[in-house]
Amino acid sequence: MSTPKSNMSRRDFLKSTTVAAGVAALSPMIVFRANAAAGPGELLMSPATPNPNGAFERLFLLKGDPLAGPVTRIVTAEGNPVPAPALAPGDRRVLRLMHFNDMHNHLTDQHAKKGDTHRLSQMVQKLRQTRSAAGDKEVVLFVSVGDDHTGSVFDELVGWSPEEFVTDPAYRAYSAAGLDIAVLGNHEFDRGAELLRMGLKRDATFPVLSANVHGSAFMTRDEDYVCAAIAEAKGLRIGFIGLTTAVDTRVGQPSDPKLAVASPVEAIRNVLPAVAEVCDVVVILSHCGFGSGSHRSGKAGAARMIGEGDLDIAAAAGPLTDKPIVLLGGHSHTKLNSDGIDADNVVDGVLITQAEANGKYLGDIAMSIAAENGRKAWFSSVSLHPVKNRDDRVKADDPTFASLEHDGDFDAAFEAETIAPLLKALESKLAEEIGQVADDELVSTERTIADRYIREVAIANFMNDALVERSATFPGGQIDIALFNATGLQTGIGKGALTFKAWYDVMPYADNVHVATMTGAQIRDMLDSNAKRFVRPEELASGSLDLTQFVSRGLLHFSSALRYKVDFGASAAEARAVDITIAGAPIDTVLDKTFKVAFNTYVSLGAFGEAWNGKPISGGVAGDIASMDLRKLDYDHTGLVYRNEIIAHIRDLKVITAETGARLDGRLIAG
């Protein structure tokens, strides 16, 4: 993202300065100054080097404070090139945006029996074929809409401290793949802004945007990321503005207390008019979620709070310019426009689209844009290209064979040159045996996924009890109770050798251990709120929820010292916890006593869209029931990684059995 040193020929220099003079006359938005710097109401335009593997011919970064107020001028140094109108009125270009979102480091998904699914390499093959076939008037760009981190074992290459950093696998792979531009998602900050900055500096050869992230002690706006950018390709000027969700980003951490995320709607109102003035088309990269206030499809399985989402952003953006605008979305894991353009996804003339998550689809939008023709007939097609899953056990005569990935469906050269070295770096970590599983009847994937939202779960019991036992070594001393959220349980484990990767798959999220001091009365209130979050018997009977997907209600599981029964009542609002005991003592006898309770980071920060933050319980729970706000507790931030503590415990045990904690013991009776 640094400004390149000038190596233009005399002919190129004369051409660029001539163009600059013409644009200055045509667009009063652009102002030339000696030693230019952005003042109030201004953004500084700086030439930058595009990804050499991408499709941008020229790139300009817009620097300055996008939150200080409406941008009225774009300034640049005298003699600098600027984006130049190159198309005659009515002259057409096709802009093709091949996009993905919420990849969560699923670059290649490994499976010992099915074979590896080469997700990014499938996308790269499609991208390269499309770019190769593009005509003189077709621009093919490759775009990420954020959450490129947290979710696969590749995350371990980032490490947990600067000393452990090896590489940022997502950004390194994207750079080689030819990614043109990306936006910061909330999960980019899971391991802290310091490590994110290292990845950006060392591995990203493309610009990363966010107009509403600010205040980090480790990342500097205008150096590590910018609010917006303008690119030129085949005569077309494309403006990009990045937005990050203000709901789910891990702000307020002790290591980076001033990191904050402002309103994306405020940011778009401030920045869009200026960007649109000097572009032919604007692309909003919105990692803010599809919907407004809440979202009811995709990731959540039911309803999930997202705050100011894509519908709000589009409604704000549409009236600000008559230039074509497309909003590429992320965060809510929503599959949009799978059967062509859905009219409900066009808001105030702004087309909204999204490609689900985890590398399941490559989005593809082709827009036919006529210069100076506004939004008249400016897009033609929207589609999603499925990324195939691998399963080498399926025979050629099976009806599903053609829908699966086979050799030839992915770019083998890219996989060998780019992904294979990353896997090699992970090889010893992935294969490392951390213990044995004696029996998988209670801890299997099938059992864990089926039970996690409705009853006691053996693998959750094991994890929570393990953390309590491990806490004897904690600097702050022994804890009394540990908890973990149901949505954090991604899979189970199988009988036999247990590898690092197998346990990583159980709990892939980047959670630290936070210890709160709670009274018995507070624990009772927490359990009452938890009782309202279970999938209810009538919901199970109706089959209205797919329990294999996220049911984002913030349901918690607890260690063995805390035992209770759920009285479901006639509705979620009436559900409550009864017969509660803590270490054998009835709750009414210890209401004033204090206990140390270990939380995973996600829950201690309020569980974001799953609402342990005072907002209504989400995930389709009826009745607009206010949640308990766990953010108000007094926490000791241990700096310990939840997953690492469990792995250390497994190493000590050597074998996971019912006797070592993988059991059901009646600590929770639901129903």
Q: What is the spatial distance between Cα 608 and Cα 625, in angstroms, rounded to a whole number?
A: 16
Task: Give the helix ranges, DSSP H, for 471-608.
Answer: 500-506, 520-531, 537-542, 601-604
Strands 346-347 and 496-499: unpaired
For residues 663 and 461, the answer to whether their CB atoms sit within 8 Å is yes
Kindly state the tokens that stand for 632: 């108000």
> CA 255 from chain center: how many Å?
21
Half-sphere exposure of 75 (CA within 13 A, CB side): 16
Length of the chain: 671
pTM above threshold 0.85: no
What does 299-361 look like in DSSP terms, one character per residue?
A: GGSS-EEEES-HHHHHHHHGGG-SS-EEEEE-SS--B--BTB--GGGEETTEEEE-B-STTSE
How far is it between the farthest Cα atoms of the chain? 86
Q: Which residue has the tokens 């400004």?
A: 3
Say what the pLDDT of residue 10 is: 26
What does 552-582 look like in DSSP terms, one character per residue?
A: -S--EEE-TTEEEEEE--SSGGG-EEEEEEE
> What does the CA dihedral 603, 184, 321, 61 come to, rounded to 10 degrees?
150
Q: Residue 593 contacts by C-beta under 8 Å, 6 or more apart in sequence? A: 519, 520
pLDDT tens figures, 424-444: 999 877 888 999 999 999 999
For residues 256 and 193, the answer to whether their CB atoms sit within 8 Å is yes
Closest CA to 61 of 264, 221, 266, 245: 221
Return the SS3 of 662. coil
pLDDT tens figures, 634-665: 998 887 889 989 998 999 999 999 999 999 99
β-partners of residue 305 are 294
302 pLDDT band, cuts 50/70/90, is: very low
> What does the CA dihedral 396, 400, 401, 403 come to, rounded to 10 degrees?
160
Kindly state the tokens that stand for 282: 């604007």
> CA 258 from chain center: how many Å?
21
> Hey, which bits of 91-148 come out as E strands?
92-100, 138-144
pLDDT tens figures, 379-416: 779 999 999 999 999 999 999 999 999 999 999 999 99
Higher pLDDT, 299 or 179: 179
